[in-house]
A and B are shown apart, each in its own frame.
Chain A
């Protein structure tokens, strides 16, 4: 798992960590029961305050994506995939919502929007299902 933070992004660093770990879970790069790096290790890797990493982990724990095992570290929860996929759907829905609103302002009909969407999907590099 590779995380990246951007200090000029405006999104708090702990939220950048939370989002990226969720993406890693939803994308299958982090599987249930996989270990996460220790707070110290991730702080060193990203060169950030360990309190910020601890805060991100606490947030993920509250959301039920990860859990701590006494003395052994932090791991991905079994139910994490479901939660992360719901989160993923929320993010992608939000993006579509914006695109649909924009299309509406251009006066596009639902059929036209669907056509553009399907065209884009065909052009994309996504694996065909």
Chain B
């Protein structure tokens, strides 16, 4: 069964001048990790915002856990978790206050899990959010995104700004989400090693389109080059460079 199904999803900005996401189609089977890589401005974050209902699609459809994604459907907050790249959390609150606030709003909140997450992620709970470093802000976002045991987890560059210990801890948390709970993960990162380690399949985005997609092993095998690439980084550069203008 697919947890995510996307058909010809498109979002244009500036009256059609910019096709940020351009006729993208893919599916993510339940319990698997789809990694998304692409240069800055390739459309990854817009894709995440479309799939989480933060912005509307210009055309095409996105279905998450059997429901079409829509801004007016509050159930999407219950069944999905999202770590975005923007610092949207209220700066005047402390981390602990923010967690308390979210707890009141979100069905399925798991107090025991929050205690574990806070311990594993180790961020200062009693400092105002505006004073948190990028890394600590991300850690708080991760705790907020997973506290209600969502079935689908959207992670938009979660490891950017994390120190090596926190990155490893996040990977450990994800390993449990996938291995113990069978969660589905959509994971964008510029760190190719994260992808090599965590992704079941990888999609390469360029100028709003998915230019290549598949299990990592087949991407390496099918790369249309004389020298078969050994790493995802090589696959990425071969794929993006070979794309006709």
A interface vs B, CB < 8 Å? 7-10, 12-13, 39-40, 43-44, 46-52, 54
| Count of chain A to chain B residue pairs whose CB atoms are closer than 8 Å in the complex | 54
User: Can you give 21 A-B contacts (C-beta < 8 A)?
Assistant: A7-B196, A7-B231, A12-B216, A39-B179, A40-B175, A40-B176, A40-B179, A43-B179, A44-B175, A46-B197, A47-B172, A47-B175, A47-B197, A48-B198, A49-B33, A49-B198, A49-B200, A51-B31, A51-B32, A51-B33, A51-B200
Classify the interface of chain B: helix, strand, loop or mixed.
helix
Residue B124 CB within 8 A of the other chain: no
Residues from 115 to 164 in B contacting A, C-beta threshold 8 Å: none
A43 vs B231: C-alpha distance when bound (angstroms): 20
Q: Which residues of A contact B198 (CB under 8 A)?
A: 48-49
Residue pair B32, A10 in contact (C-beta under 8 Å): no
Residue pair B231, A13 in contact (C-beta under 8 Å): no
Min CB distance B3 to A, Å, is 14
Chain A residue with Cβ nearest B193:
A7
Residue B87 CB within 8 A of the other chain: no
Interface 0/1 of B45-85, CB less than 8 Å to A: 00000000000000000000000000000000000000000
Interface centre among B171, B175, B220 (most CB of A within 10 A): B175
Q: Which residues of B contact A13 (CB under 8 A)?
A: 196-197
